[in-house]
Amino acid sequence: MAYSDNTPPEIWAKATTFFSENKRGYSEYGDCPLPCDDDEQDRQDIQHKFFTVTREDDNQDPGRRRSVNGLHARPLLCNEPPRILDLGCGTGIWCIDMADLYPGASILGWDLSMRMQPKLMASGMQCLPKDITDPTWDLDLNSMDLIHMRLLGGCVSDWCAVYQNVFKHLKPGTGLFEHIEIDYRPFSPDSSLPENSSIEYWTKEVYRAYEQYGKPLFPKDDLPAMLKHLGFTDITHEEQEIPYHPWPEDERLKNIARWFNLSMQSAIPAMSLAPLTRYSNWTLEQVEKLNADVKMEICISGMQESHSCKATKYHTFLLSSWQLRVCKYRSHKAAQAAFWTASLENLAGKVNQRVL
């Protein structure tokens, strides 16, 4: 079932055009420090691959179920084709994979830019221009089976307001919410990362610029506490360490690091150009110089010490009890249902014992 599009034509017009700044293109609609040009599309698609590789099941450890096809954490709790919303969908690649996974699903992706998504989409999938920080969402309340939000750090100043809307639009009892973020600050357990490294300096300056912008790159609030306060239940927060370089012996981690490293090479300019020039008054030349230094340091091909422990800390919200951050909303009604199921199981157990 298609979602209705009440977007005014002037918003569509803005969302499909971009303005040029420092050799990159930025959406005319909304206020976002990330570009929406062809390079950004490639970057986001590589980043999506990084996430699916990171989240897919571990063959070495089959008992440890990480996610459903590397896309979301917990199995959906609905008996009919699901209704799914992706906040800040970017190129729409997650929605496309979800449409393949759930034929018949109604999948809606919202983003400020409508330049990055394919023209032809699977039936049931739609991308619409929407500022997710708008107080009104113009969607049926209590209607979504899954709401997904990945890497909106640096784009949101009031997480509580966004979470409130998520809460209002999830199906009571069964609706699930996943929020995934990366904390880009590198850390090095064996202190092999020098304090004066370019990557350390880059991260500090970029974080400072996003602070000045009023939208921290990594949320500073206690998000699990905020979710709890809003009424979400079954909240799980998990973190996973992602190696910056493929230094680990473990093949799975090595592969994750390869994809992360590749995605960071295009993320370095994408994430820093607008914040440093707009909010920290750097010149384009200064940013380019620092970015070139960082690339020399992180680029796999230029890496001398393959065992140097340059890792980044990776905080996410995911819907799985196994990994990263997990949030699940359950209404009182569902809690009761779960209680009754548990009671019936207990009863069945007792009956079985008697029969035995």
Ligand X SMILES: C[S@@+](CC[C@H](N)C(=O)[O-])C[C@H]1O[C@@H](n2cnc3c(N)ncnc32)[C@H](O)[C@@H]1O
Q: Please give the residue ranges that form the binding site for ligand X (CB under 6 A).
A: 30, 32, 34, 36, 44, 47-48, 88-90, 94, 110-113, 130-133, 150-152, 155
Output the DSSP codes for 174-204: T-EEEEE-----EE-TTS-S-TT-HHHHHHH
37-70 in b/e burial notation, b at 16+ Cβ within 10 A? beebbebbbbbbebbbbbbbbeeeeeeebbbbeb
Question: Cβ closer to ligand X: 116 or 334?
Answer: 116
Shortest distance (Å) from residue 334 CB to ligand X: 28
Shortest distance (Å) from residue 70 CB to ligand X: 13
Question: Cβ closer to ligand X: 132 or 193?
Answer: 132
Q: Which of 175, 194, 171, 154 is nearest to 274 (CA)?
A: 154
Q: Which of 47, 66, 327, 46 is nearest to 182 (CA)?
A: 47
Question: Cβ closer to ligand X: 97 or 238?
Answer: 97
Distances (CA, A) of 175 to 83, 142, 144, 232: 10, 8, 6, 10
Identity of the residue numbered 189: P
Residues 54 and 129 sit within 8 Å (Cβ to Cβ): no
Shortest distance (Å) from residue 316 CB to ligand X: 11
Rounded to 5 degrees, φ, ψ at 83 are -110, 125
Query: How many whole angstroms separate alpha carbon 233 and alpha carbon 237?
Result: 12
Neighbours of 301 (CB within 10 A): 6
Classify strands 233-236 and 24-27 as parallel, antiparallel or unpaired: unpaired
**Which residues, at least 6 apart from 239, have a Cβ–Cβ distance to it below 8 Å?**
313, 314, 315, 316, 324, 325
Query: How many whole angstroms separate alpha carbon 332 and alpha carbon 340?
Result: 12
Shortest distance (Å) from residue 144 CB to ligand X: 16
Radius of gyration of the chain (CA): 22
Say which DSSP state 302 is in. Answer: G
Shortest distance (Å) from residue 161 CB to ligand X: 11
Shortest distance (Å) from residue 134 CB to ligand X: 8
Question: Cβ closer to ligand X: 89 or 242?
Answer: 89
Shortest distance (Å) from residue 307 CB to ligand X: 30
Shortest distance (Å) from residue 185 CB to ligand X: 17
Question: Cβ closer to ligand X: 110 or 202?
Answer: 110
**Nearest residue relative to ligand X (C-beta):** 90
Question: Cβ closer to ligand X: 155 or 193?
Answer: 155
Question: Cβ closer to ligand X: 87 or 309?
Answer: 87
Shortest distance (Å) from residue 77 CB to ligand X: 23
Question: Cβ closer to ligand X: 112 or 298?
Answer: 112
Is the torsion defined by CA of 309, 314, 318, 321 positive or negative? positive
Question: Cβ closer to ligand X: 146 or 193?
Answer: 146
